[in-house]
Structure 1
């Protein structure tokens, strides 16, 4: 039996703005609102369903991309003037990492979620 992640709910103060923020950074289109959700679908079919909440518990979301996609995403992070880090604890500011033969970067979304983009899966 195969088990695949289908979707996850991402708490936000403004579901449309938060989905558009991440969609803009990752180069993904934001879907039409569906009930209380604003969906952002990744290329493997997993949907981040943004939902408005008054209290937000920040979470971590990691996206694996190709080297050319990383270049484009990292350029958009820099163009947006976002602070970025090489580590999940946000100790190494202004740098990317080179773990497992790839590259990785962390940045926060407007609701404090810790976003990560990598080019090589972690062992």
Structure 2
């Protein structure tokens, strides 16, 4: 069997609000939820499970490779909501879009404080 990434748990202060943000902005698909998880799926069946941990957590970084059309739609959605965005993960280039790798990239925070990255081209 080959290796395939299946799922990850994303810590959230409000699991339903975070899941809905990903559904809206990234155009993900709802998935059956259970127990402490609110679940969504991405293409190829990768599942993202949102949970509210009973402890403080360090925000994480999640990068998503998207086509130009989804990038444009997502960019419009999060900027229309007033979500700050940056061209770099250090968050020094506010309001800019990264074009250093032959595509476009942008960083923004989800409702749980995790740093999301959208890119239209892989870095390698």
TM-score, with structure 1 as normaliser? 0.94
CA deviation profile, 1:60-117 (whole Å, cap 9, x unmatched): 0000011111111111111111000000111100001013210000000111100000
Instruction: State how 1:1-123 maps to structure 2 within 5 Å.
Output: 1-54=1-54, 55-123=56-124
Paired residue secondary structure (2:85): coil
Q: Matched residue pairs, number? A: 123
Q: After TM superposition, what 4+ stretches of structure 1 lie above 3 angstroms from structure 2?
A: none
Query: In the aligned structure 1, how far is the partner of 2:123 from the partner of 2:40?
Result: 24
Kept in 1, the 8 Å contact 2:37–2:50? The answer is yes
Query: In the aligned structure 1, how far is the partner of 2:64 from the partner of 2:38?
Result: 19
Tell me the C-alpha RMSD between the 2 structures. Answer: 1.2
Kept in 2, the 8 Å contact 1:86–1:95? The answer is yes
Query: In the aligned structure 1, how far is the partner of 2:59 from the partner of 2:45?
Result: 23
CA deviation profile, 1:18-72 (whole Å, cap 9, x unmatched): 1101221112233332221111211122111101114122000000011111111
Query: In the aligned structure 2, how far is the partner of 1:32 from the partner of 1:45?
Result: 13
TM-score, with structure 2 as normaliser? 0.93
